[in-house]
């Protein structure tokens, strides 16, 4: 179903693209002008039980994410940001509360191939070259060979790896590997991109480049994105909204709307608006830390 949609047009600048410009992913959309809610969490909580010890990984999470948003989850280690992402991906099960992804339960959304997931490590398959790595989800979904190749070519072009499609993962730099893994997550055209600290293991210069690249990618595709990070500059640069979390127990302490324009370049980091948002995020992080 989701893979029957036409290739996403990527010719335009991507500006001013409302939800109508998005390709149909087989998800029934309400027929009104307001952007659809992609993720809706109510009183969401997870408690891990191990050796008669209970760890509250996440508690009382209320969050609604609309189509086309770029939402960062930021907070210290153990604040449950990865857990929240894994809940949405149906890689982890909530113990309390409700969670809807594209209006359905996470499991159903996963089966509808609603989201692409990018892990902390590139998680490429070492015995497959870049192109075949990107085609992996398409093989699993049973697309015909010609279609797989066409889609792989398109997303590799999107992340700037077209020239490296025959290379094997170990022949690529860390940044290129992570770009390949982003291409893989986009290959089946999900409407939601979940990223768990994808640039965490990379050096600062590579990170800067990839951050900008990711921003342009998001602008061009009109995807809804969730991005887990430790880095305030990364979160502020990329996001339309920043969810600040705290640990013990993992929870949301603040949700900060970005006042930055949707279209950005690296220079935006010098503007007062950027510094104001960054300041608000840091203040919320400190606040959360004190409470914890």
261 in contact with other proteins (CB under 8 A):
no
136 in contact with other proteins (CB under 8 A):
yes
Considering only residues 112 through 131, tell me which ones interact with other proteins, judged by CB under 8 A.
Answer: 113, 115-117, 119-121, 123, 125-127, 129
What are the CA-CA distances from residue 51 to residues 16, 48, 54, 55 (Å)? 53, 10, 8, 11
Round to whole Å and give the CA distance between 122 and 258.
Answer: 29
Residue 261, judged by CB atoms within 10 A of its CB (0-12, 13-18, 19+), counts as exposed
Cβ proximity to other proteins, 56 vs 91, nearer residue: 91
Cβ proximity to other proteins, 117 vs 199, nearer residue: 117
Part of the chain binding other proteins (CB under 8 A), chosen from 61-69, 83-91, 144-152, 260-268: 83-91
140 in contact with other proteins (CB under 8 A):
yes
Cβ proximity to other proteins, 43 vs 48, nearer residue: 48
Round to whole Å and give the CA distance between 96 and 59.
Answer: 8
DSSP 32-72: SSSPPEEEEEEEEEEEEEETTEEEEEEEEEEEEEETT-EEE
Q: CB of 196: closest distance to other proteins in angstroms?
A: 10
Closest residue by Cα to residue 195 from 77, 67, 89: 89
Number of residues that bind other proteins (CB under 8 A): 27
282 in contact with other proteins (CB under 8 A):
no
What are the CA-CA distances from residue 217 to residues 13, 62, 211, 214, 258 (Å)? 11, 28, 10, 5, 19
Cβ proximity to other proteins, 104 vs 141, nearer residue: 141
Considering only residues 157 through 176, tell me which ones interact with other proteins, judged by CB under 8 A.
Answer: 167-168, 170-171
| The binder of other proteins chosen from 35, 56, 91, 212 (CB under 8 A) | 91
Considering only residues 200 through 219, tell me which ones interact with other proteins, judged by CB under 8 A.
Answer: none
Dihedral of the alpha carbons of 120, 49, 244, 267, in degrees to the nearest 10: 0
135 in contact with other proteins (CB under 8 A):
no
Question: Which residues in this chain contact other proteins in the complex, by CB under 8 A?
Answer: 89-91, 110-111, 113, 115-117, 119-121, 123, 125-127, 129, 136-137, 139-141, 167-168, 170-171, 188
């Amino acid at each position: 179903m989701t893979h029957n949609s036409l290739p996403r047009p990527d010719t335009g600048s991507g500006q001013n693209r409302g939800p109508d410009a998005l390709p149909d992913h087989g998800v029934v959309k309400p027929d009104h002008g307001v952007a659809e809610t992609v993720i809706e969490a109510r009183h969401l909580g997870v408690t891990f039980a191990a050796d008669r010890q209970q760890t509250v990984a996440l508690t009382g999470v209320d969050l609604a994410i609309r189509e086309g948003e770029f939402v960062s989850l930021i907070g210290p280690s153990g604040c449950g940001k990865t857990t929240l992402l894994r809940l949405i991906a149906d890689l982890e099960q909530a113990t309390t509360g409700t969670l809807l992804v594209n209006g359905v339960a996470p499991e159903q959304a996963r089966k509808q191939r609603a989201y692409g997931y990018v892990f902390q490590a590139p998680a490429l398959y070492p015995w497959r070259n870049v192109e075949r790595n990107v085609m992996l989800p398409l093989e699993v979904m049973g697309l015909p060979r010609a279609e797989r190749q066409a889609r792989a070519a398109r997303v590799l072009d999107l992340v700037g790896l077209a020239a490296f499609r025959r290379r094997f993962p170990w022949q690529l730099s860390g940044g290129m590997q992570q770009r390949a893994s982003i291409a893989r997550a986009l290959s089946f055209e999900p409407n939601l991109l979940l990223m768990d600290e994808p640039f965490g293991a990379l050096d600062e210069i590579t990170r800067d480049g990839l951050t900008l690249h990711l921003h342009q990618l998001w602008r061009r595709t009109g995807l809804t994105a969730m991005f887990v990070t430790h880095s305030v500059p990364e979160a502020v640069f990329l996001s339309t909204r920043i969810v600040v979390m705290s640990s013990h127990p993992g929870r949301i302490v603040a949700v900060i709307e970005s006042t930055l324009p949707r279209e950005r370049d690296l220079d935006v980091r010098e503007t007062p608006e950027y510094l104001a948002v960054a300041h608000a995020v840091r203040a919320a992080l400190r606040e959360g830390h004190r409470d914890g």
